[in-house]
């Protein structure tokens, strides 16, 4: 979190950050058209982020245009299946189920008016139940909102590869959570049926998918192996001392991340400065439009007007300047 708090401790870097800061303020160009390297990089960052917004918005509009032309999914009574799922989870949201030839695997799309997109695959009725339940749980757990926020983070920090790693891991976590909610009370036979449905979607699909939707199955061996292990062996929740250790470690890491900030170190000599003069050994000598400051009868500076902390010092001019001074 890019904020400094009252308890934040500043650590100074005398080499790396100092040299980096010198590079950022180095000016390139000619005359009045010279700009700092930091300003150039900032403009490139902003241009990339704005381009990402327009690219994502254009992709969203195009995808909306495509699915508006898609027919409804009528391979079974999907309205009855949706009603059954809503009763099981005590929900009442309406979902539109569409047959989309351009997608490889079932997916959900839309924040306000959710649409479940089905590919041209011959699913059994129980498989359709699993798919609809899976996608509806994504919606009810607000995973679409999380995905949009993650995409916004990727657009803003497009230059940072870590955010794309975050997006990849977040997608995996969302799938594991929905699998848990759906299969936690399944029998072994139901788990087998559910995993066979996932495999069927994988075989029918490909590696391509859009970041606008949350797909039912992605053809990546590591992700699917992890999902199947969790589904079959119920490896969902880390219990005991290991789980407590992970929670404590996560909290400590977050606390450390906001408790320290590293900044470049500079030694700067500020000219024409002196200690605050005292009224006993200091005075002002009025000149033509300005004042000279004297401390122990030695001139230490000049000011054009009397402000703090000079208010209260004696003021002399040529007429009232005492001889002993």
For 267-301, b/e burial (b = at least 16 CB within 10 A) is eeeeeeeeeebeeeebbbbbeeeebebbbeeeeee
| Pair of tokens at residue 306 | 């009397």
Residue matched to tokens 């708090």:
5
- Parallel, antiparallel or unpaired: strands 282-286 and 291-295: antiparallel
Task: Using alpha carbons, list the distances in angstroms from residue 233 to 30, 176, 180, 183, 272.
Answer: 67, 13, 11, 11, 75
At residue 319, the 3 state secondary structure works out as coil
User: What is the C-alpha to C-alpha distance for residues 278 and 259, in angstroms, rounded to an integer?
Assistant: 40
- Contact between 216 and 105 under an 8 Å Cβ cutoff? The reply is yes
User: What is the C-alpha to C-alpha distance for residues 33 and 323, in angstroms, rounded to an integer?
Assistant: 57
Residue 118 pairs with which residues in a beta bridge?
99
- Contact between 250 and 257 under an 8 Å Cβ cutoff? The reply is no
The pLDDT value given to residue 115: 92
Contacts of 81 (CB under 8 A, 6+ apart): 125, 128, 129, 132
For 40-69, b/e burial (b = at least 16 CB within 10 A) is eeeeeeeeeeeebeeebeeebeebeeebee
Please tell me the total number of residues recorded for the chain in this structure. Answer: 325
The pLDDT value given to residue 207: 47
Task: Using alpha carbons, list the distances in angstroms from residue 4 to 23, 103, 252, 263, 266.
Answer: 24, 46, 17, 12, 20
At residue 247, the 3 state secondary structure works out as helix
For the chain, the distance separating the N- and C-terminal CA atoms, rounded to the nearest angstrom, is 60
User: What is the C-alpha to C-alpha distance for residues 1 and 18, in angstroms, rounded to an integer?
Assistant: 23
Per-residue pLDDT of the chain (325 residues; tens, 9 = 90+): 667 788 888 888 888 888 998 899 888 887 677 889 999 999 999 999 999 999 999 999 988 888 888 999 888 889 999 999 999 989 989 999 999 887 888 999 988 889 999 988 888 899 999 999 999 999 999 999 999 999 999 999 999 999 999 998 998 889 989 998 899 888 999 999 999 988 888 877 654 556 667 777 665 666 788 888 888 877 666 566 777 888 899 999 989 888 988 888 877 666 656 566 666 778 888 887 788 888 878 888 788 888 777 777 888 887 777 665 4
Kindly report the pTM of this predicted structure: 0.71
Least Cα distance to 89 among 153, 172, 182 occurs for 182
| Phi and psi torsions of 292, nearest 5° | -95, 140
The pLDDT value given to residue 152: 94
Q: How far is C-alpha 73 from the geometric centre of its chain's CA atoms?
A: 36
Least Cα distance to 173 among 199, 152, 146, 196 occurs for 146
């Amino acid at each position: 979190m890019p904020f400094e708090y009252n308890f934040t401790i500043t650590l100074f870097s005398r080499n790396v950050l100092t040299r980096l800061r010198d590079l950022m303020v180095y000016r390139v160009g000619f005359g009045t058209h010279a700009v700092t390297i930091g300003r150039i990089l900032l403009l490139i960052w902003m241009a990339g982020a704005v381009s990402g917004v327009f690219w994502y918005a254009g992709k969203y509009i195009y995808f909306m245009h495509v699915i508006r032309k898609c027919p409804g999914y009528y391979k079974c009574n999907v309205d009855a299946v949706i009603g059954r799922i809503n009763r099981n989870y005590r929900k009442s949201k309406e979902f539109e189920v569409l047959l989309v030839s351009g997608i490889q695997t079932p997916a959900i799309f839309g924040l306000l008016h959710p649409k479940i997109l089905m590919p041209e695959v011959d699913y059994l009725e129980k498989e359709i139940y699993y798919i609809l339940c899976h996608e509806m749980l994504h919606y009810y757990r607000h995973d679409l909102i999380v995905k949009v926020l993650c995409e916004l983070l990727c657009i803003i920090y497009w230059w940072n590869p870590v955010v794309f790693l975050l997006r990849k891991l977040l997608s995996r976590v969302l799938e594991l959570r929905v699998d848990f909610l759906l299969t936690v009370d399944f029998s072994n036979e139901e788990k087998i049926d559910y995993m066979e449905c996932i495999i069927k979607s994988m075989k029918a699909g490909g590696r391509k998918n859009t970041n606008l939707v949350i797909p039912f199955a992605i053809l990546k061996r590591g992700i699917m192996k992890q999902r199947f292990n969790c589904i079959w062996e119920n490896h969902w929740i880390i219990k005991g001392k290991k789980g407590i250790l992970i929670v404590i470690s996560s909290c400590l890491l977050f606390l450390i991340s906001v408790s320290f900030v590293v900044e470049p170190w500079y030694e700067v000599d500020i000219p024409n400065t002196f200690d605050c003069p005292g009224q006993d050994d200091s005075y002002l000598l009025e000149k033509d439009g300005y004042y000279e400051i004297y401390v122990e009868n030695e001139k230490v500076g000049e000011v054009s007007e009397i402000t703090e902390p000079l208010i209260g010092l004696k003021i002399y001019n040529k007429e009232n300047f005492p001889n002993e001074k």
